[in-house]
Amino acid sequence: MVLITMAPKTKYDTISEIAKRRGFFWPSFEIYGGMSGFTTYGDLGTKLKRNVENLWKEHFVRRQGFLELEAPVINPERVFEASGHLENFKEYSAECSQCGHSFRADHLIEDKTGLENVEALGGEAIKRMMVENKIKCPRCGGQLNEPELFLTMFKTEIGATGGEVGYLRPETAQAMFLNYKRGYIHNREKLPFALVQSSKVARNEISPRRGMLRLREFTIMELELFFDPEDPACPWYDEVKDSVIRLYTEEMEAQEVKEPKVLTIKEAVDQGLILTEWQGYFMGVSQKFITALGVPEEKQRFRAHLPDERAHYSAQTYDHEAELDTWGWTEVSGCAYRTNFDLSNHMQASGQNMEVLREDGTRFVPHVVEPSYGLDRLTYLAMENNYERNKKRNIFHFPRELAPYQVAVFPLVTKDGIEEKAEEVRDLLLKKGFWVVYDTGGSIGRRYARVDEIGVPLAVAVDYSTRDDDVLTIRDRDSWEQVSLKIKDLPDALESYYKREKDFLNLGEKVVRT
């Protein structure tokens, strides 16, 4: 008997089917066979992603008065020499000639010899030590091929002929460090302040996987907060210090503790589990932000990086993780304490002074705390967490800030002057600046279903009483309730709804259909 096992359909399969069909996102370069690690956003995805970005800026930029920045994707080699990326963004991989498994050459040498940080010795030393120590495949004992270098930054040339070597940036943070002095001046030479950038980066991943979760080109939202280590207080700390978080510390990670510590941010900072108040602040804001995307708190946690997992610049990093239906706990953000590593390196490499003068006359290089978000996976996270299959239809219950379109306008029927009236309503809303879907095709029920599937929160129906008395109805995506109001009151009603000054049932008179 042959047992045929079909891979079960995952939530990711469902979401990506809708995404392709309705135009949220799909694989890039499809007509030429595709290329993994790249994704293309359609109309709905572009708008959704933009709204996620704006919501992030509401949480992390606007209220604090932090400064935005937009810098080049292509950077000259010197930047990454100074940042340590050229040294750290590569690895030597040795493949077994018998079983085909590949291993990190430097780790094999470390295991055999007990040496540490073999990677830093360079490629030639690694190749030599592989031979000298007669290192075999740890899996099958077979002969290992000579280690190959993988540089996971994209390399290019600046200038037409024999130009300078350039790299596509793998993070945006370096731009904040390069432009730190200008930011400092623009902030009227006061600390603390932050430089924020939301834009594209590229990493030449060896094998990108999992749809939107690991891309070769993606949008990153990063914030570099500069502060005086002797004056480490965060002025907004009180807003988050009592927030309860689920925490896995470095020690718990090392001991593989299963259950998280559940405690307030203040407790975690006071106990030294989180090194700085600023990290605590950003972790608290982070939890509010991810919750605002529609992810419940019990599906969020913070997990410390172990030293060997940590980036070369980091003294402490907490990942903010969210639980996905298909892939389990997934990093959505990293909050790293970068100390003065980057500014010091750039100061040394460029010869530019990055120091700040204290009132008492002492000088210091500011320390940095960096929360960093992958916007593409947040966009997917928002889709997965707001998706529902109900009454044989797909619904995205996007929070109103995220919805790609804000309101749909439907004529109940396309005769008796109803359609003309509906066009008037549509034009009014467009004039007032709303993102409007207008649809006349099929039954009204089908049109409700169509906009449910793209997460439009409100739908306006124009019927005979609209034609005769200017009274229309708004239907709520989530409850299917309806309220009625006059056309002239519609723009203000929608505006207060989208500012969260009013909830749906306060927009008009509740309609009861018998």
Site for RNA in 1-30 (CB under 7 A): 7, 9-10, 16-17, 20-21, 27
Residue with tokens 């432009």: 179
Q: How far apart are alpha carbons 51 and 239 in whole angstroms? A: 24
- Residues 313 to 332 in contact with RNA, rule: CB under 7 A: 314, 326-327
- Please state, as a whole number, how many other Cβ atoms lie within 10 Å of the Cβ of residue 127: 17
For residue 358, state whether it binds RNA (rule: CB under 7 A).
Answer: no
CB nearer to RNA: pick between 85 and 426: 85
Under the criterion CB under 7 A, does residue 272 sit at the interface with RNA? Answer: no
Within residues 359-378, the interface with RNA by CB under 7 A covers: none
> Which of positions 62-121 make contact with RNA (CB under 7 A)?
85, 88-89, 91, 93, 95, 100-104, 107
Pick the piece of the chain touching RNA (CB under 7 A) from 205-213, 234-242, 342-350, 362-370. 205-213
Binding of residue 480 to RNA (CB under 7 A):
yes
Q: Please report which helix (H) or strand (E) contains residue 52, including its range.
A: helix 43-57
Q: Of residues 165-204, which lie at the interface with RNA (CB under 7 A)? A: 170-171, 203
Stretch that binds RNA, among 251-259, 261-269, 408-416, 420-428 (CB under 7 A): 408-416
Judged by CB under 7 A, which of 442, 469, 486, 506 binds RNA?
442
CA distance 474 to 484: 6
- The two tokens of residue 70 are 């937009």
DSSP character at residue 61: I
Counting residues that bind RNA (by CB under 7 A) gives: 71
Among 86, 311, 315, 487, binds RNA (CB under 7 A): 311
Return the amino acid letter for 471.
V
**Min dist. Cβ of residue 164 to RNA (A):** 21
Options 120-128, 184-192, 267-275, 306-314: segment touching RNA (CB under 7 A): 306-314
CB of 340 to RNA, least distance (A): 18
Measured from the CB of residue 19, what is the shortest distance to RNA in angstroms?
9
Which tokens in the block code for residue 133? 């120590």
Q: Which 8-state DSSP code applies to residue 397?
A: -
The nearest distance, CB 468 to RNA, in angstroms, is: 9
Alpha-carbon gap, residue 196 to 70, rounded angstroms: 8
- Angle CA(313)–CA(257)–CA(243) in degrees, nearest 5? 70
Q: Which of 310, 397, 400, 502 binds RNA (CB under 7 A)?
A: 310
286 membership: H or E segment, kind and range:
helix 277-292
Pick the binder of RNA from 482, 494, 504, 508 (CB under 7 A).
Answer: 482
* Greatest extent of the chain over all pairs of C-alpha atoms, in Å: 92
CB of 99 to RNA, least distance (A): 7
Count of residues making up the chain: 514
Burial 460-469 (b: 16+ CB within 10 A, else e): bbbbeebbee
Question: CA 1 to CA 422: how far, in whole Å?
Answer: 62
Q: How far is the CB of 46 from RNA (least distance, A)?
A: 17
CB of 17 to RNA, least distance (A): 4
Q: What counts of helices (H) and strands (E) characterise the chain?
A: 17, 27
- Select the residue interacting with RNA from 129, 347, 382, 461 (CB under 7 A): 461
Nearer to RNA, 263 or 311 (CB): 311
Nearest-approach distance from CB 134 to RNA, in angstroms: 21
CB 191 to RNA: min, Å: 26
Alpha helices in 96-214 (DSSP H): 105-113, 123-132, 173-178, 180-186
Angle at 279 between CA 274 and CA 285, to 5 degrees: 120
SS3 191: coil
Of the listed pieces 191-199, 310-318, 376-384, 485-493, which binds RNA according to CB under 7 A? 310-318
